[in-house]
């Protein structure tokens, strides 16, 4: 399902960077999803999740990352992950999720 872009929503192509908390866990996962939903509703089509501070992700956090990537694709948006630390990257590799995400080394 595509996020509607109507007369009040102008597509924005400048990257919007969303900085993740030091932990992406069950307690705060919905806040990240809401940030993505709000950004898409505002017309942002190039989104960057900055994981520079994120050191721990639990299974709920992994689930929301997958959900966000899917929602972005369905909305015609580009979502990239940047500044992914070794521990988080290792977890994504072990779970087989690394191939689902566009992971870039640098800052937005």
Residue 3 lies in a domain: no
**pTM here?**
0.85
Q: How many domains does the structure of the chain reveal?
A: 1
What is the rounded CA–CA span in Å between residue 41 and residue 36? 9
DSSP string covering 32-75: HHHHHHHHHHTTB-EEEEE-SS--EE-HHHHHHHHHHHHHHHHT
Residue 25 lies in a domain: yes
- Per-residue pLDDT at 20 exceeds 50: yes
pLDDT 10s digits, 28-85:
999 999 999 999 999 999 999 999 999 999 999 999 999 999 999 999 999 999 999 9
* CATH number of the domain bearing residue 64: 3.30.750.24
Domain of residue 88 covers 16-103
């Amino acid at each position: 399902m595509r996020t509607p872009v109507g007369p009040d929503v102008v597509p924005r192509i400048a990257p919007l960077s969303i900085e993740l908390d030091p932990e992406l866990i069950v307690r705060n996962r919905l806040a990240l999803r809401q940030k993505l939903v709000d950004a898409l509703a505002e017309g942002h089509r190039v989104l960057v999740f900055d994981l520079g501070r994120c050191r721990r992700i639990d299974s709920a956090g992994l689930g929301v990352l997958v959900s966000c990537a899917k929602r972005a694709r369905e909305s015609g948006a580009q979502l990239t992950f940047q500044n992914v630390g070794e521990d988080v990257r290792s977890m994504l590799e072990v779970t087989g999720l690394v191939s689902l995400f566009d992971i870039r080394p640098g800052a937005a």
